[in-house]
Structure 1
Amino acid sequence: MTHRWLHLRLAAPLMAFGGVAIDHVGPTREYPSASALTGLFANALGWRRQDRAKHQALQDRLVFGALSVLPKGETVPLVVTDTQNAKLEKSDRGWTTWGQPEGRAGATYDSPHRRRRDYLADHETRVVLRLSDGNGPGLEELAAALDRPARPLFIGRKPCLPTSRLFVGWVGGVSVHDALAALGIRGRALWPDEGGAYPGALRYDLADLRNWQSGLHGGSRIVYEGELA
């Protein structure tokens, strides 16, 4: 059966798709995770972090694939590393996306707070997405929310503001792989295991799910990564 797929264009001077963080090091993947897309849509819809059941239900319904659009001659995206050093005082407050400054509790730090964050630089990713059956918003509602979001949108981290409209349009396809191919863009892509045979593609276990009740890692799924001609 041919499905209707939401087509997204994620592009920004800097963006981050997260990854398995170790200590103060925050890496980025090449493709968006299921939890990242869930957070993007939830922010556009105006949901709060406390709406855990809504987040979990939406993540459970996502069926998607992603394609890296790289400059001609390039085979891997450009990754830049930001080394952050900050001395945070008890009275310091930070900017938030809901219009109210955010404070912090606890004693003053005696030494700088150090973090390292990786970003994809001048990168573009295309996403095709549909929703499986279940309760919650439909594809049209998600598309409308991206065009008129309840809050400012960012791709991965708050400084990563998109350079263009996220919602591109619609494509058709029986599977995620078919929908990605329907974009007519050559590049490396990631799609879930839907029982097809993909010679030359790498099949592996990807940990990109979140348990929205606990806020921790929530499991993995089988995906394929390979070239789209």
Structure 2
Amino acid sequence: MTGHVLLIRLAAPLQSWGTVSRFSRRDTHSRPTKSGVIGLCAAALGHDRADELGELTATRFGVRADHPGTPVRDYHIVGAGRYPIRPRDIITDHRRAAALAAGMADSEGTTFGHHELADWYGAPKYIVTEPDSGALVSKQLSRGALVTERWYLADAAFVAALQHPDRAFLETVAAALESPKRLLWLGRKSCPPSGTLAGPLNSGTVEDVFKSTALLPSQSVGARPSPRPWAWIETTPGAPAASPVQDQPVSFDADRRAHTTRWETRTRITIAENAIEWDVIP
């Protein structure tokens, strides 16, 4: 399939493209995912999470690793110490809810233990006033630190490509990336992009455009791009050397979030001697 290709520059001090993430450990893929890039474009266009993704899901996706970056781990601590009681804490102390829900009654005599939200409601005990600040605190809400891991790619720079037969559609996406309607980040909210995102819009295929577009400039001292960078390009099921990837977005709606399988090939890209340089605002 030929058509038109929009290049997207994905560079920042930190980026993180999670594939399997839980509270205690948030990983990152070695490269941007299609789900993450489509989500970036949807945010730029101003879509809500519940909106249909439309033509964004129909794009053919590719990513070229000009600077693969260095994996770094953030030793993250959450929740240690004691905190002032907020008004909502009086009725939403989740740590004690299960023990207190059964048998608790409100001023009207209704038993919270029979309420459908019984597992979520309760009131903290041992509320005291701190002598220095006068704030109300609960000894019950004091807890030890929860240690978690957050993985990132440091000083990485990728070129993502979206191929679509409708040039006007890609022009709309490109304009949105430079004047986004919502905040943009590279995988996580703590990873805002740096510089220009939307690159050249060319006719052809992802493979052709990757070969005819020069490598991104170095983002940090000592970061030297490979003269033949790796690229991962979407292909049809059953194609030679194709591998399945579970990152084709169906919906970002919290109630029906889903991804399906797509196929991609891994290949070396040889940059043409007359490759086109594209303006990048650092």
Short-chain TM bin: 0.7 to 0.9
Quote the residue 1:27 is aligned against: 27
49 and 196 in structure 1: CA distance in 2 versus 1, 3 angstrom threshold: closer
Quote the residue 1:107 is aligned against: 93
* Larger CA Rg, structure 1 vs 2: 2
2:71 pairs with one of 79, 92, 111:
79
Answer yes or no: is the 8 Å Cα contact 2:237–2:262 preserved in 1: no
Please give the alpha-carbon distance, in whole angstroms, between the structure 2 residues aligned to 1:84 and 1:58. 38
Structure 2 counterpart of 1:124, one-letter code: A
Structure 1 counterpart of 2:174, one-letter code: A
Please give the alpha-carbon distance, in whole angstroms, between the structure 1 residues aligned to 2:207 and 2:165. 16
Answer yes or no: is the 8 Å Cα contact 2:11–2:157 preserved in 1: yes
Of the structure 1 ranges 78-87 and 179-188, higher mean CA displacement relative to structure 2 is found in 179-188
List gaps (5 residues or longer) in structure 2. 95-140, 216-227, 271-282
1:171 pairs with one of 202, 221, 227:
202
1:155 pairs with one of 166, 186, 196:
186
Answer yes or no: is the 8 Å Cα contact 1:63–1:132 preserved in 2: no
**SS in structure 1 of the partner of residue 242 of structure 2:** strand
TM-score by length of 2: 0.63
Answer yes or no: is the 8 Å Cα contact 1:146–1:166 preserved in 2: yes
62 and 115 in structure 1: CA distance in 2 versus 1, 3 angstrom threshold: farther
Aligned-residue CA RMSD in angstroms?
2.9
Please give the alpha-carbon distance, in whole angstroms, between the structure 1 residues aligned to 2:35 and 2:2. 26
Quote the residue 1:192 is aligned against: 234
The offset of 1:30, in angstroms, is 2.3
1:222 pairs with one of 263, 268, 274:
263
The offset of 1:130, in angstroms, is 2.4
More strand by share: 1
Quote the residue 1:131 is aligned against: 164
Identical columns (%): 28
TM-score by length of 1: 0.76
Answer yes or no: is the 8 Å Cα contact 1:61–1:132 preserved in 2: no
Structure 1 counterpart of 2:149, one-letter code: R
| 1:204 is aligned to 2:243 | yes
List gaps (5 residues or longer) in structure 1. 71-75, 93-104
Answer yes or no: is the 8 Å Cα contact 1:34–1:59 preserved in 2: no
